[in-house]
Structure 1
Amino acid sequence: MQHAWIGGGLRFSYCTEHDLPAISRMLAKESVCRWLFFGPNTDEATRSYFLPLIEEMRTAFRAGRMPDHHVFTVRLEDTGDFVGQCALFPIDFSPGSFLIGYQLDDACWKRGYGTRACTFLVYFAFTVLDGYRLNGDTVAGNTTSQRVMESCGFVLEGIQRQYWHAGGEYHDRLIFGLLKTDLAPERLSGLGEMFTTEHSAEV
């Protein structure tokens, strides 16, 4: 079973406990958490969130099956430097539908990595998992995240007013969606050619 993929100069691998120090440093930054409904996080808070996910994935792999959650660490292919993380979370009662998520370290902004991470999630959900729908959301003020999803084909499907309360303010939630049928067959096949699998150590 594959644990890592390469594409666009980035390496996407299932998250392990070894990745947590870098993820914790990223999520402790106010700049990274500006548009998130959580954080900045303590190291303890980050570990308490990620460790159960890591254990669920590790248990699934040891049993020879795909995990329910797919949490990836993103690193540069050539140097292994940490870029961020991205994930797919299943939607209850809707097999094949997933919520996407991605965070990048602030040192890696404005380099196209966010779009590549989102593109990888589209590839993985529709090609590897044979899913049918992706769901995304972001704070109304986070125009960068909006552009990332739109560039990957996501469509704005709705607005939930004052959905989040963070930093002493209320924020509207923008809801995006992408159906597998929204993508032309040649686009789907192109995604398969964009990312190559890489054998990695057992997680």
Structure 2
Amino acid sequence: MTSRTEFTERYRFATRDDLPAFLETLEDPAVTRWLWFAPAPPSFYEAYFGPLLDAQAEALARGRLPATSVFAVEDGDGGFLGQGATVAVEGSPGGFEIGFQLRRAAWGRGVGTRLAWFLGAYAVRCHGAHRLEGSCLVGNMGSRRLMTILGLQEEGRRPGFRLKEGQRHTELLYGAEVAALDGVRLAEVAEVLGLGPKDAARPDACWPASRAR
């Protein structure tokens, strides 16, 4: 289990002010090598992330958790390390997809592992997730490793599904019901990060601690 002292990063809800950092991360060819939607012009990323961040800000202002939660990941000094998200899966009540992109400087330091556990614990504790899932290109060994660390299983392959820079790539689909995951570990991560349980009477119970740790 990741110990309490190892959670050195801070996770906070991202805002439009974070867009330049998002775009800078996605300008690195090493980061985008296995992202099916990249490389792309800044206008593409702005058109994708901007509405999500606006919807998130509106939900938080109304005292609600957003259906799509986008987080900025920072080191202890406030340096930007990357972004992560949980997305409510349409047509699957209680289903949440996780995704993340980390700067190259964050690789090999356990940042991705801790982020995966945070996203899983957040979806389960704060949204009452019944199922977690994710996807990546077959060559993305880093993301494949993080999916399996979280306990997600490969559920399917879609050969040639993604077209990236003129080449076809197989997409891997990962998922698991929360009941099949390590509930003790998820609960410990939630406790370490101060994530409160889903509470209809207090919809803001989750985010004070997750915004900055």
TM-score for both structures, normalised by structure 2:
0.85
Change (3 A) 1:160 1:166: same
Matches within 5 A, 1:104-183: 104-183=102-181
Q: Offset at 1:199?
A: 7.7
Q: Please state if 1:26 is matched with 2:25.
A: yes
Instruction: Give the match for residue 7 of structure 2.
Output: 8
CA contact (8 A) 2:193 2:210 kept: no
CA distance in 2, matches of 1:200, 1:157: 32
Q: Which residue type is aligned with residue 102 of structure 1?
A: F
CA distance in 2, matches of 1:146, 1:200: 27
RMSD between superposed Cα atoms in Å: 1.9
Any idea what SS the aligned residue of 1:114 has?
Answer: helix
CA distance in 2, matches of 1:180, 1:163: 27
Any idea what SS the aligned residue of 1:135 has?
Answer: strand
Q: Offset at 1:184?
A: 4.3
Q: Offset at 1:32?
A: 0.9
Change (3 A) 1:147 1:200: closer
CA distance in 2, matches of 1:72, 1:116: 13
Change (3 A) 1:8 1:159: same
CA distance in 2, matches of 1:66, 1:90: 11
Percent identity over paired residues:
34
Q: Which residue type is aligned with residue 178 of structure 2?
A: K
Greater percentage in strand: 1
Q: In the comparison of the two structures, how many residue pairs are matched?
A: 195
Change (3 A) 1:8 1:200: closer
Q: Offset at 1:45?
A: 2.1
Any idea what SS the aligned residue of 2:151 has?
Answer: coil
CA distance in 2, matches of 1:15, 1:118: 17
Instruction: Give the match for residue 84 of structure 1.
Output: 82
Which of the residues 100, 103, 113 maps onto 2:101? Answer: 103
TM-score for both structures, normalised by structure 1:
0.89
Any idea what SS the aligned residue of 2:154 has?
Answer: strand
CA distance in 1, matches of 2:112, 2:95: 21
Change (3 A) 1:192 1:47: same
Give unpaired runs (5+ residues) of structure 2.
Answer: 195-207
Change (3 A) 1:9 1:95: same
Instruction: Give the match for residue 3 of structure 1.
Output: none
Measured against aligned partners, the alpha-carbon deviations of 1:133-190 in whole angstroms (never above 9, x if no partner) come to 0111111111111111111111111111111110221111111102110134423322
Q: Offset at 1:7?
A: 7.3
Any idea what SS the aligned residue of 1:84 has?
Answer: strand
CA distance in 1, matches of 2:141, 2:24: 24
CA distance in 1, matches of 2:124, 2:117: 11
Give unpaired runs (5+ residues) of structure 1.
Answer: 1-5
Q: Please state if 1:60 is matched with 2:56.
A: no
Change (3 A) 1:161 1:101: same
Change (3 A) 1:42 1:198: same
